[in-house]
Amino acid sequence: SGNSAPLNEAMAVLQHHDAVSGTSRQHVADDYARQLAEGWGPCEVLLSNALAWLSGSKDVFTFCLNLNISICPLSQKAASFQVTVYNPLARKVDWMVRLPVTKGVFLVRDPNGRTVQSSVVVSPSTEQKDLSELLFSASVPALGFSVYSVDLLTSRDAQARTPKPRPKNSS
């Protein structure tokens, strides 16, 4: 069972100016980080439960906390995965999704099964690590989510590019 209370409490503690402005001693800063990390664990379960309920599917959801530094083990290893994009704004947004992937050709489909334009960018900084980033534009409704599916194409698939059955819909 999930629980957001520990994260609530950690966030409340972190309202202290020491945590906001960085004026704490190192061991206190380490403890702030510990409280946040421990609070996030049960909250992640809560979010997974909510997503399962909303999407009607009991998936193992993965939260890539290091996406800002282009690290996400699932997208870097899986040949096929789904991307749930949640929009907390009260208006529709179009947003560029960036996911670290291994090199290859990918097929991205929107919630209606239509193929979405995507690019695999090998940036100069990631080239040495055999890592690329998959980019596609996601359209997400107000206060809602969209589920996009991503498939790594084999060389034969890439040539044929046949559309597959539509993935799970979303709202």
Partner 1 sequence: SHILAIENEYIRATFSPKTGLLVEIENLEKNLVLPVQQAFFWYNASVGDRISSQASGAYIFRPSQQQPLPVRRWAQTQLVKTALVQEVHQNFSAWCSQVVRLYPGQRHLELEWTVGPIPVGDSWGKEVISRFDTSLETDGVFYTDSNGREILERRRDYRPTWNLNQTEPVAGNYYPVNTRIYITDGKVQLTVLTDRSQGGSSVRDGSLELMVHRRLVKDDRRGVGEPLLESGSGAWVRGRHLVLLDTVQTAAAGHRLLAEKEVLAPQVVLSQGGGAPYNLR
- Do residues 103 and 121 make contact, with C-beta atoms less than 8 angstroms apart? no
Smallest distance, Å, CB 64 to partner 1?
6
Q: Residue 148 Cβ, how far from partner 1 at the closest point, in Å?
A: 10
Is-contact 144 55, C-beta < 8 A? no
**Min. distance of Cβ 134 from partner 1 in angstroms?**
10
| Cα(122)–Cα(108) distance, integer angstroms | 18
Q: Which residues bind partner 1 (CB under 8 A)?
A: 20-26, 47, 51-53, 55-64, 67-69, 72, 74-75, 78, 80-89, 93-97, 99, 117-119, 121, 123-125, 135-138, 140, 149, 167-168
Q: Which is nearer to partner 1, 40 or 61 (CB)?
A: 61
User: CA-CA distance, 146 to 159, in Å (whole number)?
Assistant: 28
Tokens of 116: 């979405």
Nearer to partner 1, 69 or 160 (CB): 69
Residue with tokens 């060389």: 155
Between CA 58 and CA 52 the distance in angstroms is 5
Taking the complex as a whole, how short is the minimal distance between the CB of residue 112 and partner 1, in angstroms?
Answer: 16
By beta-carbon proximity to partner 1, the closer residue of 13 and 83 is 83
Provide, rounded to whole angstroms, the least separation between the CB of residue 95 and partner 1. Answer: 5
Q: Closer to partner 1 at the Cβ: 85 or 105?
A: 85
Cβ–Cβ under 8 Å, residues 87 and 138: no
Largest alpha-carbon pair distance within the chain?
59
Are the beta carbons of 109 and 149 closer than 8 angstroms? yes
Question: Which tokens in the block code for residue 6?
Answer: 């520990």
